[in-house]
Amino acid sequence: MSDNDMRNNKHIQDNLHEKALNYHSLPFPGKISVVPSKPCEQQDELSLAYTPGVAEPVREIARNPELAYEYTSKGNLVAVITDGTAVLGLGNVGALAGKPVMEGKGVLFKKFAGIDVFDLEVTADTQESFIETVVNIAPTFGGINLEDIAAPHCFEVEKELKARLDIPVFHDDQHGTAIIIAAGLSNALEIQGKSLDDIKIVCIGAGSAGIASMRLLVALGVKKHQINLIDRKGVVHTGRNDLNSYKGEFATETNDRTLADAMQAADVLIGVSGSNLVMPEMIASMAEKPIVFALSNPDPEIAPDVARAVRDDLIMATGRSDYPNQVNNVLGFPFIFRGALDVRASTINTAMEVAAVKALAELTKLPVPDEVLQAYDMDSLTFGSDYIIPKPFDPRLISTIPPAVAQAAIDSGVARSAYRPYKY
């Protein structure tokens, strides 16, 4: 990088720093607030909102707890909860430092699916105390969105909470990422003339996103022997004695030991790890018509222009909005929770995740409305190598994903009511 490029980059970073801090602090601190949803301007309204009128729904809920969904905001309220151990790419910065991210998640829930959020930043000395805290506050909410919790204990936290709670518990860093990856990959494979049951997959990153993505692909038909999982020490293989149980799920019998070994003749590369880990020669060694999902942010595992310089037959996705095919979790979690809440689901299960994958994939193949083109300043957008996943501002997401998820909840027996789309 030249001195001029370095100066320009520093200027951009300094400008972003100032803009971001101003955005979060002005005209008042933070990004979310709580506002009343019923009038309280006159004496009789005050009497209904609080005492003595509030005693009536209290009695009804005490008699039948399910009526909390009728008389309170529980059914449209999600807790976004973190312990601050894996905040974005910043690591274990602590619960309080994660609050801007949790507030941001609340903005997206409300903006895209009309769901209200309380963000909760929990300081917990142990995994058990975090779990107990969430269990104890769970009656307030219709769903729990876990966020920015480090692997491997994120797996145990979610598993335990799912077992103990009767509302959806969803770790978005796991399942949200997995769903969008699976939807995009399904379409990319179709375009490249390949199928899930006969491809070789390399996944760089054996944390929450990597493990969950591979689990979902297995649920969709991939066999574990088709997967080479890569962690900091190289290929996850059966000869290693340093694997936790989660990595061990994907340990394969192979002579591959390095990322370069694994990349030979691979059809698919999924990167959910760190920047600039993939060299051009690795991309060159892949099979014909490869698919590369380099999702590390802000810098991908390999830059699109570098990858395309060695392979003009690839399909590429990143986590960035300034390249085609952005894999963005906002395509998933608001709409998945919307569907789950609208049938009062007791959980979000694999059937609901698969329904979201299929709905996202099929939506991409439909004609793109003008309002999407205008939002992204584009003249046209059609299903193909540069459009394998919907755009986040596609207004059809809210009418496509929630009904599919809700129907899957009903079909799999975890819904507690008929589908009633929330009016907001």
Check for a shared fold between 25-171 and 172-424: yes
Q: Give residue 121's pLDDT band: very low, low, confident or very high (50, 70, 90).
A: very high
CATH superfamily name and code, 25-171: Malic enzyme, N-terminal domain (3.40.50.10380)
CATH superfamily name and code, 172-424: NAD(P)-binding Rossmann-like Domain (3.40.50.720)
Give, rounded to a whole angstrom, the gap between the first and last alpha carbons of the chain: 50
What pTM was computed for the model? 0.94
Residue 17 confidence (pLDDT) above 70? yes
Q: Give residue 259's pLDDT band: very low, low, confident or very high (50, 70, 90).
A: very high
Give the active site residue among 99, 105, 162, 194: 105
Q: Is 387 a catalytic residue?
A: no
For the chain, the domains span: 25-171, 172-424
> Rounded to whole angstroms, what are the CA distances from 279 to 23, 263, 266, 283, 310?
37, 10, 14, 7, 10
DSSP line for 307-346: HHHH-TT-EEEES-TTSSSB--GGGTHHHHHHHHHTTT-S
Residue 3 confidence (pLDDT) above 90? no
Residue 197 confidence (pLDDT) above 70? yes
Residue 109 confidence (pLDDT) above 60? yes
**Which H or E run contains 79?**
strand 77-82
**What does the pLDDT average to over 30-56?**
94
Residue 8 confidence (pLDDT) above 70? no
Say whether 203 sits in a helix, a strand or coil.
Answer: strand
Give the active site residue among 50, 111, 159, 422: 50
Q: Is 50 a catalytic residue?
A: yes
Distance CA 193, CA 250 (A): 26
Per-residue pLDDT at 138: 98
Token pair listed for 394: 């596609």
Per-residue pLDDT at 245: 95
Per-residue pLDDT at 16: 85
Write down the mean pLDDT value for the chain: 95
